[in-house]
Every structure is written in C-alpha cells, then in structure tokens.
C-alpha cells in the first residue's frame, strides 16, 4: 500500500482531528458531529479499509500521522479516533473484520485502566504501564512492516535481476554411472563372508590381502606365453617383507595351479610361466563347446 492512497481515502472522511474544530456553524451553533446522512460512497470506505493490513496497521497510521511518540501514546485520544473510524465503518454497514473490534475492546480496556486509581506496586516495586503490551505489539508489527518494505526493495529476479542464459541446442547423451561408497562394498563383503562362514566346513585361514594383490600382479605379468625368470618377480627395494609377500604369492599361485615353476636342470635358474592347460581338461572343454553347439 502507499500512504497517498490512504490519504486520498481519508480525505473523503470526516478525519478525526477535524473534530477538534467545529465541523460547521449552523445558526450560530457549533456542529461538531458530521451529519449522519452525509454520503460517503461505500466503495471509498472499502478502499480505505483495504489500505490497512489490520487494526495494528490502522493504529500505527493514526499515531504516525500525528507524529506521536509510539512509546507515549495519548491513549484516550488515539482510542477516540480509532473508535470513530470503527463506528463509521459500522454505520456504513461494511463487514468489519473481527480483529478491528477486538482492538477496540482492548483500547477501551487500557483507557479504563489508565483512569483507575493506582493499585499497590508489585513485589519489585515496578509499575507496569497499561499501554506496555499495546506498545510492544505496535513496535513488533511496525518492525516487520518495515522488514517487508526492505525485502520488497531488495533487487529480485524477474523485476530487477535477469539471469544470463545460453541455449543448449542438442543435449548429448552422457550416461552417468552409479556411485558406490567404499563402505557399502565393505558392508556387502562382511555380509557375504558371514553368510559363507555359516556353511563353511573346510579349513579356515587368514586372508592376506597383500598376497592376493601380489598374486594378481604376477599373473598380470604372465599374460603372454613367455617364461619369466623367477628372480625378476622380486623387487629387492621392497625389503624383506616385500620379498616374502612375493614368495608367498608365488607359492599360493602354484598351489592353486595358476602358474608353473620350471627348471631346465638342477641348479639352473628357475622360471615361472602360466599353467599349461591339462590335455584332458582342454579336451573336456572342447567337448563342452561341441555340446553347446
């Protein structure tokens, strides 16, 4: 809303402060009440009402318009003005939100408390101003009313800020693959090992991952049909531990029948090669192939 709108609407009304001055002098008599039949278009009243966001907003307007200190509201005067608007709106038979009437009741209550004799002070000897709650509510409301104006003033998309965009004419198919967290895989392994353990009736051994990795490395080096000299599989720079791991890996490969150790004659250098397919197994394999064909 904007204040000029409100002022325009207000100008159609017998504004509150006008009451201080006689409204008119008729036959020498001061008339301070507007004539009851004074015509104000209901639409104008509606506009007036809609210009406010509720009773707190209306009260704030009355206070600010007269440059009153919000901390020291002349409650009697403000209440009188507020009630006048309410009466007027009711006279216009406009549907008035319940909040406006509740505020009227609250103002009347504060006014009456201000007039009552002072009761004894409380334990702290402090006196609470009957207006305190109203003032706090007005302040808090005004605070957020301003915050709303501040937010409205922030440069925002569509109104003030435009995003720079360029056209992607044709989207390329770029399949992205599922991710795995290492932990997921480890949990899966833990499960499968536990499951397998329940059925395990065979010997139990401790797995050495270094040895497993080294087994893979050695097999990878034996991809071709060539013989590798046994000694070349060892990397002395790995130290005693490294050499031992390699040795255990070779033994395990031999045990699993994955590699063969060959020696031309006694004391000749040892060589390592891929295990040679057993003739019978190859035959079996051929048979299997025939069957599937």
SS3 169: coil
Q: Taking the complex as a whole, how short is the minimal distance between the CB of residue 43 and other proteins, in angstroms?
A: 19
Half-sphere exposure of 162 (CA within 13 A, CB side): 3
Among 149, 225, 265, 290, binds other proteins (CB under 8 A): 149
Listed ranges 16-24, 31-39, 83-91, 209-217: which one lies at the site for other proteins (CB under 8 A): 209-217
Q: Does 64 bind other proteins (CB under 8 A)?
A: no
**Size of residue set near other proteins by CB under 8 A:** 128
CB of 218 to other proteins, least distance (A): 9
If binding is defined by CB under 8 A, does position 97 make contact with other proteins? yes
- Which tokens belong to 241? 């531990």
Residues 260/275, Cβ–Cβ less than 8 Å: yes
The smaller minimum CB distance to other proteins, of residues 8 and 40, is found at 8
Smallest gap, in angstroms, from Cβ of residue 177 to other proteins? 6
70 is a contact residue toward other proteins (CB under 8 A): yes
Query: Site residues for other proteins, window 110-129 (CB under 8 A)?
Result: 113-119, 122, 126-129
Minimal distance, residue 185 CB to other proteins, in Å: 5
Q: How far apart are CA 35 and CA 91, in angstroms?
A: 12
User: Is 291 one of the binding residues for other proteins (CB under 8 A)?
Assistant: no
d(CA 197, CA 170): 53
Rounded Cα distance, 55 and 134, in Å: 11
C-beta of 25 vs 173, nearer to other proteins: 173
- Asked if 163 is part of the footprint of other proteins (rule: CB under 8 A), the reply reads yes
Contact present, 245 and 210 (Cβ < 8 Å): yes
Residue numbers 242-281 binding other proteins by CB under 8 A: 242, 244-245, 255-258, 274-278, 281
C-alpha dihedral, 264 to 270 to 273 to 276, nearest 10°: 40
Reported as type and span, the H/E element at residue 37 is: none
Pairing of strands 29-31, 24-26: antiparallel
Query: Interface with other proteins includes 56 (CB under 8 A)?
Result: yes
CB atoms within 10 A of CB 229: 10
């Amino acid at each position: 809303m904007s204040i000029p709108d409100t002022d325009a609407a207000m100008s159609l009304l017998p504004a509150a402060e006008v009451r201080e001055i006689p409204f008119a002098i008729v036959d020498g008599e001061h008339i301070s009440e507007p004539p009851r039949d004074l015509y104000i278009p209901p639409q104008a009243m509606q506009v007036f009402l809609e210009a406010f966001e509720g009773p707190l907003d209306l009260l704030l307007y009355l206070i600010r318009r007269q440059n009153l200190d919000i901390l020291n509201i002349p409650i009697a005067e403000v209440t009188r003005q507020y009630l006048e608007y309410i009466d007027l709106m009711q006279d216009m038979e406009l549907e008035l939100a319940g909040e406006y009437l509740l505020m009227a009741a609250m103002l009347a209550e504060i006014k009456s408390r201000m007039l009552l004799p002072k009761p004894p002070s409380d334990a702290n000897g402090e006196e609470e101003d009957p207006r305190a709650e109203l003032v706090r509510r007005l302040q808090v409301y005004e605070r957020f009313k301003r915050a709303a104006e501040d937010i409205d003033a922030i440069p925002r998309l569509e109104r003030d800020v435009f995003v720079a965009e360029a056209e992607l004419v044709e989207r390329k198919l770029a399949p992205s693959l599922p991710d795995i967290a290492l932990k997921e895989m480890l949990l899966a392994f833990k499960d499968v090992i536990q499951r397998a353990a329940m059925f395990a009736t065979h010997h139990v051994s401790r797995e050495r991952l270094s040895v497993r990795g080294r087994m893979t490395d050695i097999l990878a080096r034996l991809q071709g049909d060539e013989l590798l000299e046994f000694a070349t599989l060892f990397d002395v720079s790995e130290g005693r531990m490294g050499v031992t791991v390699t040795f255990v890996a070779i033994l395990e490969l031999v045990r699993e029948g994955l590699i063969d150790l060959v020696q031309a004659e006694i004391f000749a250098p040892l060589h390592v090669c891929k295990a040679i397919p057993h003739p019978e197994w190859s035959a079996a394999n051929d048979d299997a192939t025939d069957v599937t064909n």
